[in-house]
A and B are shown apart, each in its own frame.
Chain A
Amino acid sequence: MDGFADAENMTGSKTSDRGFRVPQPPARPGEAPDFSNFDFGEPGKLPLLDAEAPVEAFEPFHDGLLRVLDMDGKAHGDWASMVSEEDLKEALTAMIRTRAFDQRMMRAQRQGKTSFYMQCLGEEAIAVGCALALRDGDMHFPTYRQQGILFVNGIDPEAMMNQIYSNKKDPLEGKQLPVLYSFKDNGFFTISGNLGTQWPQAVGWAMASAIKGDDKIAMAYIGDGATAEGDWHQGNLFASVYRAPVILSVVNNQWAISTTSAFAGADKNTFATRMASYGLPALRVDGNDIIAVIAATRLAAERARAGLGAVAIEFLTYRGGAHSTSDDPTKYRPKEELGSWPLGDPLDRLKQHMTVSGLMTDEEIAALEEAAEKEMREAENRAEEVGLVHAGEGADPAKMFEKVYEEMPGRLLEQKKEAGF
């Protein structure tokens, strides 16, 4: 599938004649980006599905790619009918705010206000589109790259910044690494630092909803790289076996720190195909096309809510920035790769669609961007005024002993006293 050259002839190879291979990306730093092995298909070509369609109807979507927007901002095909103008305006605002938030926090990290940050540059449409397609009471099980959910689900960005700054108002009271939020009221499950673990948990949450006869659904997210973990396979199996009302989404952004998705098997079969092999209906979707993202997720949600079980989605995208602020991608991929991703930038594409289709003017969009920039600047000022992890009012040290258990055991109480609290 999405081909990668094999390292058949790396230096010093002694056993390569026996077929041992180590996947290599088509281009390394200094080489020209190369996405020629992808087949992206055409927008508007794949038929609109009914939410209750038989599993076989999903087959064209395993290797094919659900696309609505072309690269000139025009929408094609029936899938577009699932998304309203209101949706798009909401999506645009949330994507702009997500990006403005990321930019603010990247800057804050460079200024030493936080030790660590992770942005979702180039992937904003996925989290935002999914959040728009779900409803109150549903639960997202995000990774660190789905902050976009929160900008749909009504978070005050200052709360996120307080978490990042581990200050006195940090809702997690300093316990957790920056960006590993937990916002239950916003349908946002506590993010684990350990990859893959939340995939089966989302399935279990959905199983519970079904067991109780509720109509809430769960949505799981996982990076391409993390699908290698056993948890991914087990979650897929449980979702299929128990027909759990969960949407299982792989965010395939081509990279897992320095290794390509080929290390997770993506050069052999698409993630959609592999999830389909568990008997799940599966869709492969252009993750940089907000209309396709909302439409696919809405169909999946409707299907899961109707009691027809889990739906798998592979979102195809590209990681626009470094893995985290601790990473330097120029060491392992060509600088020019981002600008060359054939499916472009999701925010630019939506903006273009809004103007091309006459839904908004450039001026209106610019005003949204200005407002978002201002919102984030002011939120950051407020957060910083409260404190940073090293300065001002930081999280209360005594809090570190709380919430290990509901009731603090005697030995821990002794330790707390010994620590001077």
Chain B
Amino acid sequence: MSETLSNTRSMNMIEAIRDAHDVAMERDDDVVVFGEDAGYFGGVFRCTAGLQEKYGANRCFDSPIAESGIVGTGIGMAAYGLKPVIEIQFADYITPAYDQISQEAARMRYRSNGEFTCPIVIRTPTGGGIYGGQTHSQSPEAIFTHVCGLKVVIPSNPYDAKGLLLASIEDPDPVIFLEPKRLYNGPFEGYHDRALKGWKDHEDGKVPEGYYTVPLGKAKTVRAGKDVTVLCYGNMVHVCEAAQAESGVDAEIIDLRSLIPLDLEAIEASVKKTGRCVIVHEATKTSGFGGELMSLVQERCFYHLEAPIVRVTGWDTPYPHAQEWTYFPGPKRVGDALKKVVEAK
């Protein structure tokens, strides 16, 4: 943390994200915010509410429904010297902009040999758990981690969301900032039939006022343990905590927070200590980021491993509507994997 502030306020993730925008816009006139319904209305999840009123329509505005246009113009603004923080309404709708993101934003620096850069932040709600069906539930992080030149960040709580967003806005390179929408209003352990817990009583719902950053590329050990390392991020952090508590396995749970850059040191140190590893993400399994994590662990920790690494992920299907909870990798599946891995001889 770059600055320690004693004043904290209880915030949910929406408020924390809004607050990060506010702090960034206050500190830096070059920060502009736009996206579909992001101006007057303040976004369909209200993450930019009040910003147009406070900073004017020149710094926070609505956009046409054209994701490629949103990102393309954002790249132009970034190249000019602004710091665009743009919202794509759902991660499922980012694909029309994939060309601009993967071929343009990601490569501006490289292809101009540093002459032009693209300090843009593309925020978008990710993941399922809201009965959103195929087109409001996907987790596309791996299609961005596969593109060199992009950074990919996924917070799991309000404190990190604000600090990571401020760090992303300051970052000199393009950042894909994925916000697990199921966590906006409270930590979610994977039990859709239980009452929603708000962020109020959660340690990470206490958010410092004003400016602070959480650096990209630093994982957080959510729980220290000695028998198995759990690598997770976003929605799955809370699911893994629940799975640990229910299974009683002494797991070390690591919230990666950013996938690119990745905190390899933390991963390596933990797996070398525990000798076992479970990787959990909500996205589909095949070619998911878990495959990359698995390779890295294998490359660096092979001689310390006492059991095969196991992945718990979404199934290789589109995100179904009615069968959402069969798709969602909940605490039961994670708990079973933890037990299996610690029991393996």
Q: Are B65 and A22 in contact (CB under 8 A)?
A: no
Q: Once the chains are docked, how many angstroms separate the CA of A231 from the CA of B97? A: 12
List A contacts of B57 (CB < 8 A).
7, 10, 13, 22, 24
Q: Are A13 and B323 in contact (CB under 8 A)?
A: no
Nearest Cβ on chain B to A200's Cβ, whole angstroms: 12
Q: Once the chains are docked, how many angstroms separate the CA of A331 from the CA of B134? A: 28
A400 CB-CB contact with B under 8 Å: yes
Q: Once the chains are docked, how many angstroms separate the CA of A180 from the CA of B132? A: 12
Nearest Cβ on chain A to B59's Cβ, whole angstroms: 7
Give per-residue flags for A190-226: 1 if the beta carbon is below 8 A from chain B beta carbons, else 0. Answer: 0011111000000000000000000000000000011
Out of B55, B93, B133, name the residue touching A12 (CB < 8 Å): B55
Q: Are A176 and B134 also in contact (CB < 8 A) when A264-B65, A400-B317 are?
A: yes
List B contacts of A16 (CB < 8 A).
58
Q: Are A259 and B326 in contact (CB under 8 A)?
A: no
Q: Once the chains are docked, how many angstroms separate the CA of A194 from the CA of B135? A: 7
Q: Once the chains are docked, how many angstroms separate the CA of A180 from the CA of B320? A: 13
List B contacts of A115 (CB < 8 A).
131
Nearest Cβ on chain A to B32's Cβ, whole angstroms: 10
Nearest Cβ on chain A to B280's Cβ, whole angstroms: 15
Nearest Cβ on chain B to A179's Cβ, whole angstroms: 10
Q: Are B58 and A230 in contact (CB under 8 A)?
A: no
| Chain A residues within 8 Å of chain B by Cβ, number | 58
Q: Which of B41-70 contact A (CB under 8 A)?
A: 41, 44, 52-59, 61-69
| Chain B residues within 8 Å of chain A by Cβ, number | 46
Q: Once the chains are docked, how many angstroms separate the CA of A258 from the CA of B55? A: 19
A339 CB-CB contact with B under 8 Å: no
Q: Are A170 and B58 in contact (CB under 8 A)?
A: no
Q: Are B40 and A419 in contact (CB under 8 A)?
A: no
Q: Are A229 and B96 also in contact (CB < 8 A) when A177-B321, A257-B44, A400-B317 are?
A: yes
Nearest Cβ on chain B to A323's Cβ, whole angstroms: 9
B39 CB-CB contact with A under 8 Å: yes
Nearest Cβ on chain A to B150's Cβ, whole angstroms: 22
Give per-residue flags for A1-20: 1 if the beta carbon is below 8 A from chain B beta carbons, else 0. Answer: 00000010011111110001
A183 CB-CB contact with B under 8 Å: no
Chain A interface, DSSP helix/strand/loop, else mixed: loop
Q: Are A230 and B66 in contact (CB under 8 A)?
A: yes
Q: Once the chains are docked, how many angstroms separate the CA of A161 from the CA of B57? A: 42
Q: Once the chains are docked, how many angstroms separate the CA of A173 from the CA of B321? A: 9
Out of A22, A228, A395, name the residue touching B39 (CB < 8 Å): A22
Q: Are B44 and A395 in contact (CB under 8 A)?
A: no
Out of B52, B62, B136, name the residue touching A193 (CB < 8 Å): B136
Residue of B nearest to A165 (CB): B322
B273 CB-CB contact with A under 8 Å: no
List A contacts of B323 (CB < 8 A).
174, 395, 397, 399-400
List B contacts of A401 (CB < 8 A).
315, 317
Residue of A nearest to B130 (CB): A115
Q: Are A175 and B315 in contact (CB under 8 A)?
A: no
B36 CB-CB contact with A under 8 Å: yes
A250 CB-CB contact with B under 8 Å: no
Q: Are A412 and B316 also in contact (CB < 8 A) when A11-B53, A180-B133, A192-B135 are?
A: yes
Q: Once the chains are docked, how many angstroms separate the CA of A416 from the CA of B54? A: 51
Q: Once the chains are docked, how many angstroms separate the CA of A270 from the CA of B289? A: 46
List A contacts of B315 (CB < 8 A).
400-401, 412, 415-416, 419
Q: Report the 9 A-B pairs with minimum CB-CB distance, sorted nearest first.
A: A174-B322, A193-B135, A12-B56, A177-B133, A228-B64, A258-B41, A166-B322, A10-B57, A400-B323
What residues of chain A have their CB less than 8 Å away from a CB belonging to chain B?
A: 7, 10-16, 20, 22, 24, 28, 115-116, 166, 170, 173-178, 180, 192-196, 225-226, 228-231, 256-259, 263-265, 326-327, 331-332, 389, 394-395, 397, 399-401, 404, 411-412, 415-416, 419
What residues of chain B have their CB less than 8 Å away from a CB belonging to chain A?
A: 29, 36-37, 39-41, 44, 52-59, 61-69, 92-93, 95-96, 131-136, 285-286, 315-318, 320-323, 326-327
Could you list some 11 contacts between A and B, CB below 8 A?
A: A13-B57, A22-B57, A22-B58, A175-B320, A176-B134, A193-B133, A230-B69, A265-B64, A389-B321, A394-B322, A415-B315
